[in-house]
């Protein structure tokens, strides 16, 4: 298979210059890892321009069936690895290979709301690979949301708020427990999150990153980021809503009742709740629910698209693995 075989799938979003996501199907001619690697390398410019335009590409029917083959497949794109260990992600995950780990260990009835991976930290990956090792019996889709379209719409409806997001940026406050809590979507301990052994090292690391912090009586650590962007200009007349507002407002403990406990504008001012509600409402309009099939691989541009995880049910173990890259 020399050329790229795009197909249409139900509910793809029409984005004017592109469809979201792009879907590429193996016509059966790529049967080995080596053939896949060669095909990816020879088609890389086209795949990359498609990714920039659309925001996500789903690869279906390729010979990827394990953490190891997924590692090889994602590695063929040639992007530097963004390791979970070095990241400040607050999700609890398990590493399979150096590059590959579980997407999120949160229980199946917990929804992971839309977010840009690690946008609430000063260092975030630019590309995400997802691999469906085993799809859930029911549910468990990965919602993907076009962040540029969401922000364009938001800016039309609440121009002053959109201007404030651009101008002021955001600050996030998170609480990291003393020990890993796998029952929470964001239960990673401060030792693991910051890759440190003790409180002195934790404080040093936070100071280096420009955070402020406070130790709580139960041994957990509350930390506030330096000012981070709420919107990023992609340089092609697109601005993306690169932040964690939706996930925080919808999913972080206590945030819906009191948003300023977790997020404020960069100058410390409260973000109007109507603005958060509008962002959530608009996100539904620009979201495609990726219905996983075993062996699917999705490549997501972390700037162009947000992602999440729908709840799922059934006996079958849903296993979606992730590899992150930064380029
Ligand atoms: Fe994520």
Task: Decide if 126 contacts 326 (C-beta within 8 A).
Answer: yes
Q: Identify the three-state secondary structure at position 56.
A: strand
CA-to-CA dists, residue 170 to 60, 122, 146, 224, 271, angstroms: 37, 12, 20, 10, 9
Q: Give residue 1's pLDDT.
A: 62
Closest CA to 224 of 171, 302, 152: 171
Provide the CA 282 distance to its chain's centre, in angstroms.
18
Residue 319 CA, ligand 1 centroid: distance in Å: 14
Strand partners, 131: 297, 321
Q: Identify the three-state secondary structure at position 230.
A: coil
Residue 178 CA, ligand 1 centroid: distance in Å: 22
Which residues are placed with Cβ below 5 angstroms of ligand 1, an ion? 117
Residue 307 CA, ligand 1 centroid: distance in Å: 6
Closest CA to 15 of 288, 296, 321: 288
Residue 291 CA, ligand 1 centroid: distance in Å: 17
Residue 114 CA, ligand 1 centroid: distance in Å: 8
In 10-105, beta strands by DSSP E: 13-14, 19-20, 22-25, 56-60, 100-102
Q: β-strand 221-224 against 170-176: which pairing, if any?
A: antiparallel
Residue 133 CA, ligand 1 centroid: distance in Å: 17
Q: Give residue 186's pLDDT.
A: 73
Q: Which residue has the tokens 């957990």?
A: 220
Q: What is the pTM of this model?
A: 0.94
Please identify every stretch of the chain with a pLDDT value under 70, giving residue numbers as ranges: 1, 185
Domains detected in the chain: 6-106+123-141+290-325 (3.60.130.10), 148-283 (3.60.130.10)
């Amino acid at each position: 298979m020399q050329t790229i075989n795009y197909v249409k799938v139900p509910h793809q979003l029409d984005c004017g210059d592109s469809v979201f996501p792009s879907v590429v199907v193996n016509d059966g001619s790529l049967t080995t890892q080596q053939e896949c690697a060669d095909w990816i390398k020879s088609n890389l410019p086209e795949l990359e321009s498609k990714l920039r335009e659309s925001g996500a590409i789903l690869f279906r029917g390729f010979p990827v069936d394990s953490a190891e083959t997924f590692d090889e497949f994602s590695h063929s794109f040639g992007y530097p690895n963004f390791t979970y260990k070095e990241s400040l992600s607050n999700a609890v995950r398990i590493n399979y290979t150096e590059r590959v780990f579980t997407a999120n260990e949160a229980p199946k009835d917990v929804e992971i709301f839309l977010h840009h991976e690690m946008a609430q930290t000063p260092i975030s990956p630019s590309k995400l690979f997802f691999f469906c090792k085993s799809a859930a019996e029911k549910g468990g889709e990965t919602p993907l949301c076009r962040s540029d379209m969401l922000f364009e719409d938001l800016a039309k409806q609440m121009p002053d708020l959109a201007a404030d997001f651009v101008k002021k940026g955001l600050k996030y406050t998170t609480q990291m427990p003393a020990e890993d809590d796998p029952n929470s979507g964001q239960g990673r301990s401060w030792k693991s999150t910051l890759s440190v052994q003790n409180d002195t090292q934790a404080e040093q690391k936070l100071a280096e990153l420009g955070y402020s912090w406070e130790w709580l009586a139960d041994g957990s650590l509350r930390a506030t980021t330096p000012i981070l962007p709420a919107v990023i200009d992609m340089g092609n007349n697109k601005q993306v809503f690169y932040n964690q507002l939706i996930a925080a407002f919808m999913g972080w403990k206590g945030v819906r009742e009191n948003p300023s406990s977790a997020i404020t504008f960069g100058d410390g001012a409260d973000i109007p709740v109507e603005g958060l509600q509008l962002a959530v409402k608009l996100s539904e309009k620009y979201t495609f629910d990726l219905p996983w099939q075993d062996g699917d691989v999705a490549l997501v541009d972390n700037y162009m698209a947000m992602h999440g995880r729908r709840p799922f049910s059934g006996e079958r173990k849903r296993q979606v693995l992730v590899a992150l890259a930064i380029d």
